[in-house]
């Protein structure tokens, strides 16, 4: 994977992680944390979808690597909700 592909993957993961944290209502940190939450969501979301036999949709292919955007957002939201409720992260103000 080239540097541009890797940076684009980080950008997509950070956006998915930030959206997931917004849906969950917890802010776990800044941009770097959003990237980590996005990658964990990209691992957790498709795992849940596969176990429940749900379809994969809206997948972005970045230089041969598939990134499931919708399931990444769902997985990120679930992960942020669990971690935020355990550690009592900062609730986002409306």
Q: Establish if 9 belongs to a structural domain.
A: yes
pLDDT at 14: 85
Domain for residue 93, yes or no?
A: no
CB atoms inside a 10 Å sphere around CB 3: 7
Is 63 part of any domain?
Answer: yes
Q: Is residue 28 part of a domain?
A: yes
Asked if residue 60 belongs to a domain, the reply is: yes
Residue 94 lies in a domain: no
User: pLDDT below 70 — which residues of the chain?
Assistant: 88-94
Residue 92 lies in a domain: no
Instruction: Identify the domain containing residue 59 by its residue range.
Output: 3-87
Q: What pLDDT was estimated at residue 93?
A: 59
**CB–CB of 20/72 below 8 Å?**
yes
pLDDT at position 92? 58
Mark out the alpha helices in 25-68 (DSSP H runs): 31-51
d(CA 24, CA 75): 10
Domain count, the chain: 1
Residue 9's Cα: distance from chain center in Å? 12
H/E segment holding residue 20: helix 3-24
* pTM given for the model: 0.80
């Amino acid at each position: 994977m080239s540097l541009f592909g890797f940076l684009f993957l980080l950008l997509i993961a950070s956006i998915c992680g930030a959206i997931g944290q917004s849906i969950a209502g917890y802010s776990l940190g800044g941009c770097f944390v959003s990237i980590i939450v996005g990658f964990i969501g990209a691992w957790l979301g498709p795992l849940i979808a596969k176990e429940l036999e749900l379809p994969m949709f809206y997948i972005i292919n970045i230089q041969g690597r598939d990134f499931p955007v919708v399931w990444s957002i769902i997985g990120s939201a679930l992960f942020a909700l669990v971690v935020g409720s355990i550690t009592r992260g900062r609730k986002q103000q409306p």
